[in-house]
Chains A and B, each alone.
Chain A
């Protein structure tokens, strides 16, 4: 199941997680290798978001090991986690914006906190055009539609040009045409060697992706992670 890991990857080895009750999943392994494109599917509430949170150090596995860029996440201090997150672009299921800052500043935030504001000026315009938000730059996140927020979240995730892109239901509120555009952005970044992991219920998106890029579909169900067949 695991793809051999190299530098610049995230690895989960025999990982279990529980929020305090029963185990959500156990002995689960997953590798995000450079250039890999993977989908994560499964019923609602099965633990997809939880699994993604383990990948960017938001949660710590109850057992097993999570390696962030070669280092055990348990041994990384908060500064180390912060630095790792600058290499991981995440689209959160609930977007996670600063509601008092206009959209442009929210999208540039990963660069701002990394002291790389100068790059924002170069990338922001192009990125905003790609996600179709050029006219909303001055709006506050609560003033945007659900789909606009998700597109903005994707823009924020990729603005630092991260090594890994993790997207949690990035197309949940987005029409088909815009989904295709976001997918093309992800495929493009993947071709540049970035590892991509997308949690989604959207089978059409998965099919469309398979036509463009070699991708793997993983299904989380009953606490186990399985490769989904070609029947998808």
Chain B
């Protein structure tokens, strides 16, 4: 309770207390700049975390849902084996549906690599079967064993083998994003501590006079705390706005492919940067208060 009222009185508006400490243009500008730059960086760290989080989820979901069965057999046997494979798949628990791709679909899949004029009929293109799992999923090892016995030309590709590392990388990237945000917060706190400490030592005589007329530590600290908190909030608001804008107007190109294209937030995620100024202000508040209390203790 005591701590709470202390916190309140530290934040409470008292323009007189603010006036008691002379304004210092230099530390004010440095604090604004630091808060702005850090908030700008924080937006990108948040975007990184958010984007890689989305990627991890999407890839993870696709990974879990679909797989492909490839049938490579002498031409005469392809149809036969495809029918056999579909029968096996239909009777496998955990598979919602299985469907052989038409040759048009296969052509469309290959087009980006080989062009539209590809004479598919003349090439030994394997037949693809798309498998969609149900929520339970199927037992890949069991299915492989059955296919080996009944459909010798079948190759089950459940995507896991090559997509798993991608999902892991995206997850790791998200973690790095959040670690960066923590580091940015800590660095902001450290820099504000230094700035506040400089302001406190520069104002040693002011602090002495305030004490001589009966000012309590909390009153003196408040002048500094409010000042740094407000400056940090303003700087962070500007930096966060600039960072968000920069993300919003990031050129989107087909060429950039999946990742760069998606860097940013989705939907309500665009509101995430709004959290930066209050969080920065909280960091500034705690850092300045600690610096002030320590410095007032030392100057006693």
**Contact surface of A with B, Cβ cutoff 8 Å:** 56, 58, 78-79, 82-83, 85-86, 90, 92, 96-98, 100-101, 105, 109-110, 112-114, 117, 156, 160
Asked if residues A82 and B214 are in contact (CB atoms below 8 Å), the reply is yes
CA distance A108 to B19 in the complex (A): 13
> Which single member of A85, A96, A100 contacts B208 (CB below 8 Å)?
A96
Asked if residues A96 and B212 are in contact (CB atoms below 8 Å), the reply is yes
> Which single member of A90, A114, A117 contacts B212 (CB below 8 Å)?
A90
User: Which of chain A's residues have a CB closer than 8 A to the CB of B116?
Assistant: none
User: Which of chain A's residues have a CB closer than 8 A to the CB of B219?
Assistant: 113
User: Which of chain B's residues have a CB closer than 8 A to the CB of A97?
Assistant: 209
User: Which of chain A's residues have a CB closer than 8 A to the CB of B17?
Assistant: 112-113
Q: Is B58 among interface residues, defined by CB-CB distance under 8 A?
A: no
Asked if residues A78 and B216 are in contact (CB atoms below 8 Å), the reply is yes
CA distance A58 to B219 in the complex (A): 18
CA distance A83 to B215 in the complex (A): 8
- Supply 7 further A-B pairs (C-beta < 8 A) apart from A56-B212, A78-B296, A83-B214: A58-B212, A78-B217, A78-B300, A82-B216, A96-B208, A110-B213, A156-B213
Q: Which of A98, A105, A114 has the largest number of chain B CB atoms within 10 A?
A: A98
- Shortest distance between the CB of A161 and any CB in chain B (Å): 13
- Shortest distance between the CB of B4 and any CB in chain A (Å): 18
Asked if residues B20 and A109 are in contact (CB atoms below 8 Å), the reply is yes
> Which single member of B20, B211, B212 contacts A92 (CB below 8 Å)?
B212
Identity of the chain B residue whose Cβ is nearest the Cβ of A112 in the assembled complex: B16
User: Which of chain B's residues have a CB closer than 8 A to the CB of A85?
Assistant: 211-214
CA distance A84 to B16 in the complex (A): 22
- Shortest distance between the CB of A137 and any CB in chain B (Å): 15
Q: Is B86 among interface residues, defined by CB-CB distance under 8 A?
A: no
Q: Which of B208, B216, B300 has the largest number of chain A CB atoms within 10 A?
A: B216
